[in-house]
Copies of this chain bind each other. A is one copy, B any other.
């Protein structure tokens, strides 16, 4: 029973983290942070996002503890808070890239989920 409760917490946590990553923009943000910290301003420009919207996405990642921040003058620098988590994310991306290259089913079914 005790184990079941831990499992429930774990599945809930896992779902929360997946939810954080369940958005192309947030995945692009995490991707941008793979090579080190970046300010919001620079990210907004390189990703082509409005600052307010980027900030909203960063807030999601921050609240889940996926990214961390550091202020320096006017700029706030974001970085990945947990390299293992980012690595796990990358592994999934590699698997999917492989699928894409193989022209597998996953590719064709993209977007055919819930309308």
A30-65 residues at the B interface, CB under 8 angstroms: 31, 60, 63-65
User: Cβ of A76 < 8 Å from any Cβ of B?
Assistant: no
Mark interface residues in A93-115 (1 if CB within 8 Å of B CB, else 0). Answer: 10111111000111101111110
Nearest CB in chain B to that of A98: its residue: B84
- Chain A: interface residue count, which band? 35 or more
How often does this chain occur in the complex, in copies?
2
User: A92 contacts which of B19, B89, B96, B112 (Cβ < 8 Å)?
Assistant: B89
Closest 4 CB pairs of A and B: A18-B22, A88-B92, A19-B22, A11-B24
Q: Which residues of A contact B (CB under 8 A)?
A: 6, 8-24, 26-28, 31, 60, 63-65, 82, 84-85, 88-89, 91-93, 95-100, 104-107, 109-114
